[in-house]
Structure 1
Amino acid sequence: MTSSGAAASFLAKPYILDLFAGPGGLDVAAEMLDVPSLGIEWDKNACETRYAAGLRTWHADVSEVRQKRFEELDADLNVLAGGPPCQTYSVAGNGAGRKALEKVEKLIHQLVEGVGEAEIDEQLERMGGDPRTALVLEPLRYAIKALDSPNRNRRPFDVIVLEQVPAVKALWEVYKEALEKGLPREGGTPVRYNVAEVKTLHTEAYGVPQTRRRTILIARLSEYDAPRLPAPTHHGFDLRKPEQGGPQDIRSALDGVAAPLLPWVPMGDVLKGREAPFEIVSNYGSGGDPKKRGIRTDRQPSFTVTGKVSRNAVRHPDDRIPDPDRLTIPEAGILQTFPPDYPWDGGDRSQQVGNAVPPLFGMHVLAAALNIPLPSEKVLRESRARLDTESTKYKKLRLEGCDAEKGCGTDCPKPEGQASSSTAATSRPRTSASEKSSAK
């Protein structure tokens, strides 16, 4: 695809480093804007999908790259993005991160005050608990590391973009305070950023055919204009008023934006291979009753797509299609706004789909961060057919990502940490499999 996206950015050549990159949601969004990216991803299954989709990848632990391989990163990477794992912060998680919130906030302030990496690591070790809690610090540690990197000539990242579940909003507020105060540079003045309001956005307000909430932080170096969050393009969905803002609602309310908002997108409009009408029954309870399952019709946006999406039952009003029916992985990907033929690969594909950033939403966020005009949404429907494993491009991507033509190389995360669904909850997948609060 071609567009004027990269040339239109306030950066001459935006180039994204995507931490905790997952199966490619943010990288697909970057492609829509003609912006190159490099993703670092810990999970082997997600990396298999990324290779098949033709995305540049390092199969590596984000923390280890910072500690041992930072100087190997391309020197012209100038946009830092990512969403650290959120299990311990989400409503559906065990709450370890929420309990450690004050301690993590203290560590953020210490990093900004110039406390060294070794001391921070010692404090994290003393904290104990779920090791994923500490990963929320990694984007800040990368931003600080860049300021004393010989390979980068001590050049900071120009833009920082972070996304996570609403439970992390308090930490993004602390990040905002830290970035505005200034990051420490040895022997130099602090490096300050302008930061947009930290806010929780609803993905259906950006054309995604599902209700999902993400809290966004966008920062730019203080030498640039202050960033703004992306303006909504569609109405939000209110389950208490399910007709309001939908295709059947012909209101022309401006809602404070420059142009009339479009109706939210019902899932039946994008799941074109499914015969309507149908309804989806949530895998989770509602209203505090675990036995009371929420229901969405094909004329409404879907529930939040999670790692348990394959458990959501699809029901039909007659016996044309036998019950219970289930969403397929490609259908779940479509609800996330991946191309219909996105080459999901590896194991635990439901988890991969649920973990991903919806590319359409990511495109809006990146376009706002980089001041790039939005391209046509038709690029979402362009083919992403699987790369031939014998092709030169596939082999090059795998060699760069795993240093091996097949399987994993010696620098990849160890196999015992790469188990699929049976141990994913206790190891380190990218983000929460369950976001019950996001489905509201």
Structure 2
Amino acid sequence: MTSAAPHQSILDKPFVLDLFAGPGGLDVAGHSLDIPSLGIEWDRSACLTRYAAGLDTLHADVSAVRRDAFESLPPEINVLAGGPPCQTYSVAGKGAGRKALEEVKAYIERLMAGDSDETIDRDLKKLSDPRTAMVLEPLRYAIQATRSHNRQKRPYDVIVLEQVPAVEALWHHYAKVLETTGLPDGTKYEVVVDVLDTETYGVPQTRSRAVLIARRQGLGQPFLPEPTHLAYEAKDWNRRAERATSGVHQPTLDAEASAPEAAGPPKTDGVVLKPWKSMGEVLAAPVGTHPGRRTPFLVRSNYGSSGIPGRRGVRTDQQPAATVTGRISRFVVFEHLDERVVREGARFSMNEAGMLQSFPPDYPWSGTAQAQQVGNAVPPVFGAHLLSAALGLPTPDPEDLRKPWQPATVEHRAKLRSHGCGAGDACTARCPRPEDQAPARSSAVPRKKASVR
């Protein structure tokens, strides 16, 4: 549900613990809202990006922190957030994903019934893919908070989770047990779950996410963030594009053709919605070190032929980007309007790829697999809307994230790494070993309804 009621902050001093924090999408969102955060991330390169960005980070396994170092976490943390790995829940294939969902639901019931961590951990070792257990971690952290002496056994006030749409069924099960069963200490939450489209919140990209927002009982009914922009509809775009080009199937850059068709200004709850943001709108102007892309362009993605043989999904600069995944580095950018021309423009830079995810310009992408970091991140503008709704804050201004990011100084970076890794210039024995990490894969799935013919 959404709410048109006046916003009223439900917490005096929110402090976010970001599990599976990646390169910092949700933390950047918090930064734009003046909300402090601590991220836990085990990928070395993502941590290097976070240190360069000045984000407080623990280079660690989320499960290991819960087991061995939970009491060392700041006791003032009152918001739990995160997006656990989701690859094993894909609905593709022969039902393995659905089987994983049912397995996890059974473990959720056992956790809420008070089964010991030792028993749960022993049985989780029997799972065919260890990543299946990761989606349990937010719930296990919520339970651990009620047992922590450092926290005086205080439960988290707010929980915010997001993942691919395939995980929606699991979030609904989370909601059921949080509302009806409650944590083992009796704490219950009010919960809302839905699948939201990021372009309806000002992200220049079509991307769908299953979200869960929970508030501890007594803090008011939670609500989903209100859309601020129109949804992108591929069929509507194609119809107008074909009409504007006299039946020739060629996407158009005509501004009039790209304007949404509606009977009067579209509204939701009395709020006039803005047109969705396009790639061209975000990338055209020079900002920071970004030189700007003023020349009209086409983008051919690495996926989605949309039924046309020999052609991948193609969008113009007047459309939002296709879902940004780890394949963003393979997208081909044509700096003209005819794919048949052999000469190609450059691919997106990592700075531009980050901007299509709504990261600020000049965000300091570091380490290796930078495209994978970009693709796996929570879009900061979307994250800001989630946090604002969860905490009862005013609707965020996306322009706050359009200013160039100021990276951390060398000294600050060393201080952050000393805290996160144990040394100011290197990883230590307490850091996760790269050989223990599963191969990185994108957690973003292209949205079928947003494909372009």
Structure-1-length-normalised TM-score:
0.89
Partners of 1:370 and 1:69 lie apart in 2 by 27
Q: Which residue of 2 aligns with 1:343?
A: 364
Q: Which residue of 1 aligns with 2:269?
A: 257
Pick the aligned partner of 2:221 from 223, 226, 232.
226
Q: Structure 2: any 5+ residue segments left out of the alignment? A: 1-6, 242-255, 285-291
Q: Which residue of 2 aligns with 1:81?
A: 81
Report the alpha carbon displacement of residue 124 of structure 1 after superposing the two structures with TM.
1.2
Partners of 1:279 and 1:240 lie apart in 2 by 18
Q: Which residue of 1 aligns with 2:319?
A: 300
Report the alpha carbon displacement of residue 246 of structure 1 after superposing the two structures with TM.
8.6
> 1:266–1:246: structure 2 CA closer, same or farther, 3 Å change rule?
farther
Q: Which residue of 1 aligns with 2:383?
A: 362
Report the alpha carbon displacement of residue 291 of structure 1 after superposing the two structures with TM.
4.6
2:282 counterpart of 1:282 = no
Q: Which residue of 1 aligns with 2:137?
A: 138
Contact 2:388 2:395 in 1 (8 A): yes
Contact 2:91 2:98 in 1 (8 A): no
Q: Which residue of 2 aligns with 1:240?
A: 235
> 1:241–1:258: structure 2 CA closer, same or farther, 3 Å change rule?
same
Contact 2:278 2:317 in 1 (8 A): yes
Give the stretch that moved more between structures: 163-172 or 107-116. Answer: 107-116
Contact 1:211 1:301 in 2 (8 A): yes
Q: Which residue of 2 aligns with 1:193?
A: 189
Pick the aligned partner of 2:395 from 374, 382, 401.
374
Q: How many residues align?
A: 419
Partners of 1:145 and 1:26 lie apart in 2 by 22
Report the alpha carbon displacement of residue 417 of structure 1 after superposing the two structures with TM.
3.5
Equivalent positions of 1:42-121 (< 5 A) are: 42-90=42-90, 96-121=96-121
> What letter is aligned with 1:281?
R
> 1:246–1:100: structure 2 CA closer, same or farther, 3 Å change rule?
farther
Structure-2-length-normalised TM-score:
0.87
Partners of 1:371 and 1:284 lie apart in 2 by 38
Report the alpha carbon displacement of residue 434 of structure 1 after superposing the two structures with TM.
4.9
The SS at the match of 1:150 is: coil
> What letter is aligned with 1:332?
A
> What letter is aligned with 1:219?
A
**Deviation string for 1:338-359 (max 9, x for gaps)?**
1111111111100000000000
The SS at the match of 1:208 is: coil
How large is the Cα RMSD of the aligned pairs? Answer: 2.4
Q: Which residue of 1 aligns with 2:169?
A: 170
Partners of 1:84 and 1:239 lie apart in 2 by 30
> 1:97–1:135: structure 2 CA closer, same or farther, 3 Å change rule?
farther
Contact 2:198 2:382 in 1 (8 A): yes
> 1:184–1:261: structure 2 CA closer, same or farther, 3 Å change rule?
closer
**Deviation string for 1:81-101 (max 9, x for gaps)?**
000011222357997443321
Report the alpha carbon displacement of residue 78 of structure 1 after superposing the two structures with TM.
0.3
Q: Which residue of 1 aligns with 2:404?
A: 383
**Deviation string for 1:63-93 (max 9, x for gaps)?**
0000100000000100000000112223579
**Deviation string for 1:352-380 (max 9, x for gaps)?**
00000000000001000000113432211
> 1:304–1:114: structure 2 CA closer, same or farther, 3 Å change rule?
same
Partners of 1:332 and 1:93 lie apart in 2 by 30
The SS at the match of 1:217 is: strand
> What letter is aligned with 1:369?
A
> What letter is aligned with 1:356?
A
